[in-house]
Every structure is written in structure tokens, then in C-alpha cells.
A = this chain, B = another copy of it.
Amino acid sequence: MITIYGMRASGNCYKLQLLLDQLGRDYRWVDVDSAHGETRTAAYLARNPNGKVPLLELEDGRLLAESDAILCFLAEGTAFWPQDPWLRAQTLQWLFFEQYSHEPCIAVARFIRNWLPPDHPRQAELPSLLQRGAQALAVMEQHLATRTWFVGERYGIADIALYAYTHCAGDGGFDLSAYPNIRAWLARVQAQPGYSPMQH
């Protein structure tokens, strides 16, 4: 059986929970609290030198890091990750958008507001994160104006990757009431077979 090393309240880790639950696939989950240093121990760094969760371990011990790379690997051969080269390219475009333009603002704002003390110096980052995160949400809102799903009119790993931190963007101080297309899409994701909520 495969093993996921992850933190349940991390959106990057939740992506894998959601895909695996929707695939109906068995997996072992090992809690690793990255917010309290558990990804910086020598034992963990031996598994993932970049010191981050999630991490996938296969039955034979092979290891794979980076949430969106793991999504692609686990979705291979399923309807969540289409074979068509152009659909794959568009999926990868949204996965890289998620990790570069979305997560570093929306997830980091959530982390600062919910995991760091109110007098922590990183609180000063919030105004910039809220501004740049709103730009990412605006790109998504515009894209969803004429589409049901992010790629190819079929629910897939681009939706899963973007859902993870968008559905809890309020935790970071983002007001989703300004994004009706995003809110309707979030509800569509939640209505998908096998959907499982993030555990806070």
C-alpha cells in the first residue's frame, strides 16, 4: 500500500487525500506536522531533502515529493488526468499557476494568520499577499465565466489542485463573495463522487 506523509490541515497534502478518496484507493497516512518542525528532522530530510510535505512513498520504498507532481503520478491512467497532449499541457499550465501565482499568496496568508502569533514580523507580508492572491482569484474567476471545469470540461487534477487552497481562502482573509464563478465551481467540486472534506 502507498504511504502519504502529510499534514491534514495543509492544502498541498489535502490534494492527495481528495484524489485518493475520489479514486477509491487505499493508502496509509502518516501525520507530519510541518508547522512545528517535523519536516526539518534528520530522519525526514533523509526522505525529502527539500523538507516539505506531502511526500509519497511507494510499496517498494521509492519516494516522490511536490504535491502537484504526486497528483499527476497518482492520476496516471485515470479520467482525472487525460491522455490528450493539449489537455495535459493545459492541466500542467494550471498546476504551475497554482504553485507559482496562487499557493504562495493564498496558502501563505492562511499560514501567517492561523499558525503565527499576532505579533510575528511575517504579519507585515499580509497586505501584499492579499493583493497578489486577489489577482490569482481574478484569473480563476475570469476563466470560470465560460467553463464548468478548468480543463477540457471535465473534472480533473487541475480542479483538485486549485480547490485545495481556494476553498479555505477565507482563512487567509480573502472574501470569496466577490467571486461568484469560483463559488459555484467550489460547490461543483464538493458534489463530485467520493469528495472528502479537509480535516482541520
Contact = CB atoms under 8 A, between A and B. Distances in A.
A69 B50 contact: no
Nearest to A50: B139
A62 B86 contact: yes
A123 B30 CA distance: 40
A64 interface: yes
A65 to B, nearest CB: 5
Contacts of A88: 72-73
A85 B89 contact: no
A44 interface: no
Range of interface residues on chain A? 20 to 34
A75 B174 CA distance: 38
B89 A64 contact: yes
- Determine how many copies of this chain the complex contains: 2
A93 interface: yes
A180 to B, nearest CB: 17
Nearest to A90: B64
B93 A69 contact: yes
B97 A65 contact: yes
B69 A96 contact: yes
A128 to B, nearest CB: 10
**Top 8 A-B pairs, shortest CB-CB distance:** A69-B92, A66-B96, A73-B89, A69-B93, A66-B93, A49-B139, A99-B100, A50-B139
